[in-house]
Chain A
């Protein structure tokens, strides 16, 4: 789980990148709170071979990354 709420891009993408690099998880949950971060994380995750599903959760967004 990467909780990137409150962080401005590109930091959430870096957090995901570091999590992926650290142990290449099969699935990863990412929390962000900005539409622009949803787009940026999705772009990065897709390019890294993940499928991404986005769920809006109040003010936040919950991204499920799966390989």
Chain B
């Protein structure tokens, strides 16, 4: 099992390079890719929340899903299926999003932030690893969201079609959409270049099964390090790239689109890590699986978009650190945000317990 899987390493490295290029071309700092942030921006552009700074149709999401969709078709791996606790998955997707937005980034952006010297991401990573460890204990003892079933082809095409139509609408009728004029939502690489880059990344991610959760999870469950190499590759390439481009900045305070409220960076990522293990993959992996025809992952993505809307409509998301009159003002999340993150952790625990095998519960 120690043999290195070079497809995963290559994909991880390419994700790192693609993220650097996208940032160079206009995406917000340390946000070449951020599945949580980009789905939040899509929720915003569709008018599902009204946080004016985070509204844009991110072509990266469309590209990742379509890249996976096309690659799966070519390789004969496209299979429409679903039916594995869809409502639970919707809720878990929403809660993973609430956790990720409390931290200000999905697991992938966490790695990108870490590679750029943002030590808050190290705190996030600790929380993420704890969340994965806890989730893995349930999986190890038999937790499942039950089996999937083969379904009609249309089910498998639901998310790709939705994103394609929404994306076409965005290009043809932009005035119907909400588009940020300031803040992260206003910063983006050119639409079609971002789309093209994401198509390639999506296709490679489909081949390699790259997953930010899977690396740590498989290391814990099976001492299998295959996916972890991809995680490390993203980190190393980002580190080298940001150093070379002069964007590396080591420290906690005033990092781009980040806050240094440690406990909530930690707790947000515990929630994201635990929820993602129960779902079987990180937010990036959910997009790739949805592209392969997995309706359960598609419903998870819809749940994440709903979670982003809830997060911003109720003011649960993290506020970045800011500098007011030369003094750093530490950001973080609101009291409501803290209560909801704790509440979500309780709910994830309940979901974990309710989906254990019956006999197992008696033994435990």
Residues of chain A having any CB pair with chain B under 8 Å: 5-11, 13-14, 17-18, 34-36, 43-44, 46-47, 59
Contacts and interface: CB of A to CB of B under 8 A. Distances in A.
B280 A10 contact: yes
B225 to A, nearest CB: 11
A64 to B, nearest CB: 20
Given A6-B149, A44-B224, A14 B140 contact: yes
B254 interface: no
Q: Which 8 A-B pairs have the closest CB atoms?
A: A6-B147, A47-B1, A6-B148, A8-B280, A11-B144, A7-B147, A44-B222, A14-B139
Contacts, number: 51
Nearest to B296: A8
28 contacts: A5-B147, A6-B84, A6-B149, A7-B144, A8-B84, A8-B148, A8-B280, A8-B289, A8-B296, A10-B139, A10-B217, A10-B218, A10-B222, A11-B144, A11-B280, A13-B222, A14-B139, A14-B140, A17-B140, A17-B222, A35-B77, A43-B1, A44-B222, A44-B224, A46-B1, A47-B222, A47-B223, A47-B224
Contacts of A43: 1, 224, 226
A5 B150 CA distance: 10
Contacts of B289: 8
Contacts of A11: 139, 144, 280
B209 interface: yes
Interface residues of B, number: 26
Contacts of A35: 77
Nearest to B147: A6
Contacts of B294: 8
B334 to A, nearest CB: 35
B209 A36 contact: yes
A47 B225 CA distance: 12
Contacts of B209: 36
A36 B207 CA distance: 9
Nearest to A35: B77
Given A36-B209, A44-B222, A10 B142 contact: no
Contacts of A59: 79, 150
A11 B296 CA distance: 15
A67 to B, nearest CB: 17
Nearest to B150: A59
Nearest to B76: A35
Contacts of A5: 147
Interface hub of B209, B222, B280, B296 (most chain A Cβ within 10 A): B222
B221 A10 contact: yes
Contacts of B148: 6-8
Interface string B136-153: 000110101001111000
Interface in B68-111: 77, 79, 81, 84
